[in-house]
Chain A
Amino acid sequence: MRVATDIGGTFTDLVYVDKNGSIGIAKSNTTPPNFEKGVLDVIENAGVKREQLSMFIHGTTVIINALTERKGAKTGLITTKGFRDILEIARGNRPDLFNVRYKKPEPFVERHLRLEVDERLNYKGEILSPLRRKDIEECVKHFRKEGVEAIAISYMHSYVNSSHEVETVKIIKELWPEVLVTASSDITKEWREYERTNTAVLNAYVQPVATTYIDKLDKELREHIDGNQRYIMQSNGGTTKFDNAKKAPINMVESGPVAGIFGAAVLGELIGERNIIAFDIGGTTAKCSLIENGEVKVSTDYYIERDSRNAGYPIKAPVVDIVEIGNGGGSIAWIDNAGSLKVGPQSSGARPGPVAYGLGGTEPTTTDANLLTGRLSPKNFDYDVNMDNVKEAIQQKVGDHFGISAEEAALGIIRIANSNMLNALKLISIRKGHNPQDFTLLAFGGGGSMHAPALAIELGVKKVVVPIASPVFSAWGMLMTDLRHDYIQTYIKRLNELSLSEIDVQWEEIEKQALAHYEDEGMAAENVEFHRFADMRYLGQEHTVKVPVPNGQWSGEDKQAIIKEFHNLHERNFTFKLEDSPTEIVNIHVTAFGKVPKPEIGKITRNGSVDEAKKENRNIYYEKKGWINTPVYDRDKLPPNEVIHGPAVVEEKAAVTLIYDGQQLQLDDFGNIIIEMEEK
């Protein structure tokens, strides 16, 4: 049996697929700080016996928690002479432009634990000053005295030549075998010293925590599952083995959320949709990501704690491109100082939660608005819902301000929430030069199916899919993943000066490294698949475009085709191309997949009729139309390929889908809900 577990803020989810292709799900409370306990609990809750486990895939928030709660290790940093303050100076930017009391992010390593050694390379990787063993000995002595638990090393231009960093690790290991050491070039081979240094520091900072956690989990599972079948989800949308995860734990920073995006791509493949906008609404946030031609976009432009007011901390690890906004089911509706209605980013969280929960929440939320307008029913809640309290909260906090009824106010909350989410969806599609009509909106998470049909009309996508297992879709995605490693190397080269034999060597070296890596992980070479990309730009420009490039040895024609593809992609992304300008490669990027056999997804067989699936009729309040008596269906009883016309509601455990007048819905053979506009 294959099992995936995903630790979330409130719940730890589990999805399994058995030998017959049947899917089962379970939820259990998340148990900080001993997260592994929640994992074992949910396995037990699912009724899965540990000896039945054949494969285990895990998404974890341990890394991001250690970072945001500052619960990592005492970390020391070694840098090139003259540059220990790079970590503190950072980039000097102040996103909160007009706030003169702006607080700069504090570095994760205090100044007295940032030591310098007299070594130096130039931009070509040539050694200007050699590394001296004595200097490293001094550093180790100081770090031991100060009780440092992990060490990061970041030298100038180590992305071109890592020999000094490698040598430093070797010396430290000889002197102090127990300490954990991170060399910046082991985590990222991209230029920009602040970003690379910070990445190395954060990796070192979480490494002891990650190691302890993985070891504990490993101990519990070891006797039941073969070492080759225990995987951890990384931020790039692929998995890695437990041992490897301990070396570069920073690669797990977005371990959980990306699995849903990856799952969307896999499901799309299954149902013939290769252009997808994946859209996940949870309790606190909504996340979206664009998948083009089946390819999940991965970049290293990732930050933690960054928003429009804060500079945050860069992490140059490959992370699936996700846009996240503070709008979920629990987002609070409020009136600003000048009297405008806002929704989020404050959330009522799991406790006290929306007013509907009756756990003491007094602020109206999106969930309460959905309830008052009939989009949700009190029966959808595990709590005893007091509708009067919900209505009163919305009336008092929003309705009275505008002199309108509670229902009108609730509709206002939903419209503002939708507007916020629509802006996020536009950000990843229209603003990047994509036409939404070419895309399918794949909606999941607790609230995805509720809001997606309305957003689809506004955005103009051709279709909405609410997938199987939609409330726990991230865990489902994990079951479908392959091993994945991304190798990104800064390699500045003008295309017109590029020697084909030289770049062939570069690619081959990276791929050789990848194969060796997989061999260590017990993956046979024939199951490894390479995808190559070049980050390219016009000479003198800063921003790059990721261009897919051919495998194998390049011909002169290949080179011309690559340049042409770059011009096209540049025009798509930036509205223009400069065909006379010279082009330049900045990074070369290899994604290496280690293919793992996937479970088969079974087709559903149901013989009942649509009428038999109907649960009730419910009054729902619509914009401009008022209350309409709307049929409600049970998703688990709906037969495939039978069309239902909107307005209508489809309910399942932990999620509700609402379609509007002019939309139609049907289940496909696998049980996915497919929503389209009716033919006029």
Chain B
Amino acid sequence: MTTSVKVDPFTLEIVKDSLLAAGDEMFVALARTSMSPIIYEVLDYASGLTDAQGNLLTQGNGVTGFIGMLTFMVKETLKKYPGDKLKPGDVIIINDPYNGGGSHLSDVGLVMPIYYEGELIAFSANKAHWTEVGGKDPGSFTNDAVDIFQEGLQFNCIKLYDEDRLNEGIVEIIRSNVRFPDLSLGDMWAQVAALRTGDRRLKELCDKHGKETILAAVNYLLDHGETISRQEIKKLPKGVFEAEDYIDTDGIGNGPFKIKVKVTITDDEFICDFRGSHPQVPGPMNCSYTGLMSAVRVIFLAMTNPEQDVNDGVFRPLKVIVDKKSIMSAERPVPVSNYFETLLGSLDLVWKALAPHLPNRLTAGHHLSVCSVTLSGNHQDTEEPFLIVEPSVGGWGGAMGQDGASGQFCVADGETYNVPIEVAETRYGVLLDEYSLRQDGNGAGAGEYIGGKGVIRAYRALSDGQSATVTYGRNKFYPWGMNKGHEGSPNEFYIHKANGEVDGPYGVYPRYKLQKNDVVRLMTGTGGGYGSPLKRSAAQVAKDVKNGYFTIEEAKEHFLVEVNPETFDYIELSGRLS
């Protein structure tokens, strides 16, 4: 791409950095002004700038799953409001999962066109998970909806502000249709404030450097991203790589569903062909096409250059092919609340197909699921209603040269924080019995480099009538091992009732009723191992036993190392590999 103005390379670089800094600032502004833990603790949102055509320039992410979704929101806006139908001071609200959004109704997007001297030069956009958008269940995203209408309010790319005038009607509709209107509207105002930060910073940059310089820097930035991306593709193995796997369930009793990919890498293209995967399903595990695009983008970045600044230039070499109305390209009106489980499944397919060929970049399989938990009820002291909505940490896969990380959020999350127990116990009607690393006892995740450990988090209800909705994927099909490493363990949960009964294990369960002193014991999976366990250094195995990561029996059976339970001295048994 050529630019009409000649700008010196250092000015371009400085303006480019200023654009990235503006993106960061918008991102931070939203977290700091939000009122919802799902935004400020889980950072379940994204914000950024695009050019006037909707090409992403910079995106601040707390989670990976939103990557690239802003672009589709802006493109939908341009489609619906062509030419002068879009005006300075407009703010568009959009959460349509099938067009221009890509996730579920809970993720509400706002888009603001930025004008300078009367010309549309860019867009400021963000997308954030609202704690509530109405629908049939508290927290809105549910694991047994049968259509989109049960999943909450739909904003189909409409004007929240029309030339700076707020549409009070939309605000009233939100207020009367969601369960915690202060939280949802509070987040909406935070989003508006963050958009305006982007608008202000871009105008300041135009004032300082001139509009033409800014537009030149925009092109420079996109080209820079593409250049790096193409260099990285050249380093990838060339050929055709395939993988298959399954999505456990659709949440309402159907499944498992087969999914598959064929990845073709040439010198300048990266093509993911998901044709032949299962058609869309009745329950809410469907993912839309734009969600699938995000999935592919995440793993593409992981394989090429995870460190670079992300913009649409980077993704120019990517192509995605998929059947219409498949489980990963669903169309209205099938439910999509738990789209992220299929987004993750699709992402993991590409990962699994390429892992053997890119051991320096990829690991064995991880717990893969957001492992979302919704717990509601009344606080035992204040009697105020509470609502916990949180993802869970689990084990990551071992890799060439390193053990897997224990207790981390899945790849679709990212700069996501668990809720401190002391904060949870103060705010919610629960007591935590345990937050610990899981000991599988069956050699799960064993390897030369072991899978990271899953985690046990046990919530004890402190009042009657609480309700737990748990959505754990990878319950039937375990995290995969690599290069003779063992597979990991499933995500699952049990209910330990006050009367001593134990119920479970389950993967997906809507609205499990809890009485006082019932305990939900949530267990996430251990990641897959890398390499044969018989190659793991015996001294390290003895240390693993001493630290309680593996039992004496596991050491003997899976690693062929006999460890003394008192002294932790060890003997190597015959059959070990070096």
Contacts and interface: CB of A to CB of B under 8 A. Distances in A.
Contacts of A420: 17
B411 interface: yes
B189 interface: yes
B435 A157 contact: no
Contact of B418 (A83, A92, A578): A92
Interface stretch (B112-120, B134-142, B257-265, B546-554): B546-554
Given A192-B420, A419-B14, A542-B41, A574 B415 contact: no
Contact of B25 (A100, A431, A578): A431
A426 B393 CA distance: 35
Interface in B207-226: 224-225
A123 B425 contact: yes
Taking each of B36, B362, B363, B421, which has the highest tally of chain A beta carbons within 10 Å of its own beta carbon? B421
A93 interface: yes
B382 to A, nearest CB: 11
Contact of B393 (A92, A95, A412): A92
B480 to A, nearest CB: 14
A625 B229 CA distance: 38
A338 B14 contact: no
Contacts, number: 191
Contacts of B406: 88-89, 104
B29 interface: yes
B61 interface: yes
A89 B394 CA distance: 9
Contacts of B455: 85, 89
A193 interface: yes
A230 to B, nearest CB: 38
A576 interface: yes
A612 interface: no
Interface in B308-362: 351, 361-362
Contacts of B28: 431
Interface string A109-133: 0111000000000110000100000
Interface residues of B, number: 79
Interface string B348-381: 0001000000000111001000000000000000
A101 B548 CA distance: 24
A50 interface: no
B307 A93 contact: no
A82 interface: yes
Nearest to A492: B426
B298 interface: yes
A477 B546 CA distance: 49
A94 B409 contact: yes
Taking each of A93, A419, A576, which has the highest tally of chain B beta carbons within 10 Å of its own beta carbon? A93
A111 B420 contact: no
Interface string A148-177: 000000001101000000000000000000
A193 B421 contact: yes
Interface in A66-111: 82-86, 88-104, 110-111
B417 interface: yes
B153 to A, nearest CB: 21
A543 interface: yes
Contact of B422 (A95, A191, A543): A191
Given A82-B436, A122-B431, A104 B408 contact: yes
Contact of A92 (B31, B32, B402, B407): B407
B183 A543 contact: no
Contacts of B228: 337-338
A102 B393 CA distance: 14
Contact of B183 (A82, A111, A540): A540
B61 A102 contact: no
B64 interface: yes
Interface in A394-427: 402, 411-412, 415-416, 419-420, 423, 426
Query: Binding site of A, secondary structure by majority: helix, strand, loop or mixed?
Result: loop
A672 B278 CA distance: 74
A416 B426 contact: no
B405 A93 contact: no
Contact of A157 (B17, B197, B415, B422): B422
A98 B63 CA distance: 9
Contacts of B399: 101
A95 B416 CA distance: 8
A88 B437 contact: yes
Interface in B262-311: 298, 301-302, 306-307
B420 A94 contact: no
Assign chain A's interface to a size class: 35 or more
Given A337-B228, A575-B33, A85 B9 contact: no
A576 B363 contact: no
A361 B66 CA distance: 44
B509 interface: no
B254 interface: no
A406 to B, nearest CB: 14
Interface string B1-27: 000000001100110111001000100
B35 interface: yes
A83 B435 contact: yes
B40 interface: yes
Interface in B413-463: 413-418, 420-423, 425-426, 431-437, 455, 458
Interface string A286-305: 00000000000000000000
B552 to A, nearest CB: 14
B64 A102 contact: no
Contacts of A231: none
Given A99-B302, A123-B422, A193-B421, A94 B408 contact: yes
A192 B419 CA distance: 9
B433 A88 contact: no
Interface in A22-69: none
25 contacts: A82-B436, A84-B436, A88-B437, A89-B406, A89-B435, A90-B407, A91-B417, A92-B417, A94-B416, A97-B61, A97-B63, A98-B307, A100-B362, A101-B363, A101-B402, A103-B402, A104-B407, A111-B547, A123-B425, A123-B426, A157-B425, A337-B227, A341-B10, A426-B21, A431-B28
> 5 tightest A-B contacts by CB?
A89-B407, A98-B306, A92-B393, A111-B547, A82-B434
Interface of B: 9-10, 13-14, 16-18, 21, 25, 28-29, 31-37, 40-41, 61, 63-64, 182-183, 186, 189, 193, 197, 224-225, 227-228, 231, 298, 301-302, 306-307, 351, 361-363, 366, 393, 396, 399, 402, 405-409, 411, 413-418, 420-423, 425-426, 431-437, 455, 458, 546-549
Given A85-B435, A93-B409, 6 more contacts: A85-B436, A101-B361, A101-B402, A159-B422, A541-B40, A575-B29
